[in-house]
Structure 1
């Protein structure tokens, strides 16, 4: 699918010959008509830019002129990614790029993940977490230290 800029502008002008007459008969001011015309010109120009900067993906098409370029483009856009499903409220874990840290986080219990999410991701204080989870501040502090120690130890163990 291509874009013929000249053809589109001719088509726009032909359309606007009729529209100008209709808008004048309806009592529109010349300034308002010109603003609407300018908007339509911007839309056509935007479409032209889109087509100019888009690449048609015809990888297996024998008629493709620049198959080497298409091969390089295909190679650039295709990548293997490891998909990891995480529990919905812990989706931030899926954004972690460090594989060792990600593996460690996936081994945590749901309660530990909830505390870690509230503390590290949502920015809650120990006092706020204790209120949310209805337990004492010292308990939350101990759990946060235990989680931190686990993550640090897991990272070092994974390096061995």
Structure 2
């Protein structure tokens, strides 16, 4: 919420009318009263300046969205935020990340997605060749040949690929 100068000035003048009367009744000189007024006026202006140039940068509560950030926070949010750009491209194949053997891991990462899918279903999820042939709508012999081809690729890659 901003500083409403008109309202605050009106309140300041109303207060000072009362204070001025009290000072005069107490017997203060008009020069001393004017000096007090000028001091209070400078404090009023300093408070107004502070309010206009200072904004709270508080994060909103859980119930509120990002639109409730202060304008200053919205302006500098990108500069003061850290965004992690981790993107799992093969989320279905996260089991591969658990393999500790670097050669085997590198070989699996070099398989194409279709072969990796068959390997995942066969080895990791426990499908048999009959179930895979039904899922891919191809003959069981073709699934067996693909699994043998993948196994041969991994063996060759494992022993020759990374040294």
Query: How would you bin the TM-score normalised by the shorter chain?
Result: 0.3 to 0.5
User: So what's the TM-score if we normalise by structure 2?
Assistant: 0.45
User: So what's the TM-score if we normalise by structure 1?
Assistant: 0.46
